[in-house]
Structure 1
Amino acid sequence: MSKKHPIVAVTGSSGAGTTTVKRAFEHIFHRDNISAAVIEGDSFHRYDRATMKAEMTAAAQRGESLSHFGPLANRFDLLEELFREYGETGCGKKRYYIHSDEEARQLNARLGTSLNPGEFTPWEDLPAGTDLLFYEGLHGLVVTEDSNVAQHVDLGVGVVPIVNLEWIQKIHRDNLERGYSAEAIVDTIMRRMPDYIRYITPQFSLTDINFQRVPTVDTSNPFIARDIPTPDESFVIIRFRDPRKLQIDFPYLLSMIHDSFMSRRNSMVVPGGKMGFAMEIILQPIIERMMDARRV
């Protein structure tokens, strides 16, 4: 961990909704004029899209499972090295995994390359003089026998909807945005489950704050759900691992967020429609204290 070059990691599995908390941080960075080096977790995958498909086929033929949740398909060593180097020097290297044609056009125009979706850009230096490193992806606090990414993180945030809601969100996203069939998405969920249990779930015991959305409608069979429960059909449970360390002022938060309440001494519940607002008023003072500590 580093006061001079802090690292913020937002972690959540595919379809969990990490984009919402990423947007909250973007608003905070903009309001406070904070320069962040942004890292996308997908950029530390081991294989590009075509190679990953070939490796998955080969693994299946061997009776093995390969998924983006586990270490065999990722470079946890490089992610840990980036976090360590940034914490010590404020420097490091990043690349991008290209998800879409639009991303490919933008990155090719900037880099002078001719890359396609599913490929990586070349490694490049992080911008100089950033205030913090912001990671968003699957493995911001991952710990394995060979790598310990979590030890370098100054603020860890988990985005963890209950698993049926997570599956509903993934099924709808992958079907509508990526064109996958329902059967292919279910196969992916089943193939990833061992790695999900071993490498994704344990991170949420290491995070400083977890945001868990819980629907108030029936999601008992996520594979036939016709739509995603709306924020107003949900509550969000916010769990603080150590409220005293983060200087959480619960009376203030309860007064600011209408219809919120405490469920345990370190957990509060807010209406789903207030999730983004709750994130911002909780996270902004924490980030501002981190910036103040840099100047000491």
Structure 2
Amino acid sequence: MDVLSVIVMLALFLLLLAFIFSAGLMTPVIGSKNIIFVIFIGFIAGTIGGAFLISPVYDEIPEIARSIYLSTSGATETVTADVSTDTDIERLKEDLASQEGVVDVHSEGIVIKTDKFTEERKRIIEDKIAVIDSNITSWNVYTNGTIILQVKRGYNPVNALENLAKWLMYTGGINTRYSTVKLVVEVKPANVDAVVSYLEARDIVVTGVRGPSEDKVAELRRFLPAKSNIVLFCGVLGVITGLAGVFIDSIMGSFRKIYRKYRG
């Protein structure tokens, strides 16, 4: 929802409150016994306005706050993505590095899915990984065929994959079914959405965005009340507005007395 839509929604809700207030002003015409009717109209109209006018705006509050945080924050945000190893990882990193606002691009690890293997084979793989490729710094091996590797920063993780895949096939006949590289992009806050759109346009799965701005938005979401409470509040606000219209003369008279007392 854009800014104009938000303004229109709020303006319509204010007009609705003005209608409720007008209904309260009509009590001299419709009779003071019909105050219950004014309360009923105020609650129903306020609830409807809350559900159809305020709720859509309320849903946009986290995104509005996120835009403000991103435009004012100085710390970088981290975009993570899973990239198939069929992609030219090094070329992709170069392309990302050339995007406006990108501070750093590096691969954080690689997830490999192979045929299942035994506990004995698992121990052999764990013992030999460092020998297979000395650029692999840490690893987790599971008998269901999942192998997670971490490599030295700046090293092409696809090389580690190819070395390990060949060794698995030659020594145990284990096929590598698929693999993905976890790519990490450090981005200036104002350029996060552009980088995410760039990755998605290349059919790359963005797995998350984290950083100071995202943390603040998550904290804001935790503190925001439930939407149903907002709708109920709008209904109560409608009742109060209607009653204000009913008793406006008494209210204004009280203000005038207080003003005269203060002046005199």
TM bucket normalised to smaller: under 0.3
Report the TM-score, using the length of structure 2 for normalisation: 0.21
TM-score scaled to structure 1, two decimals? Answer: 0.20
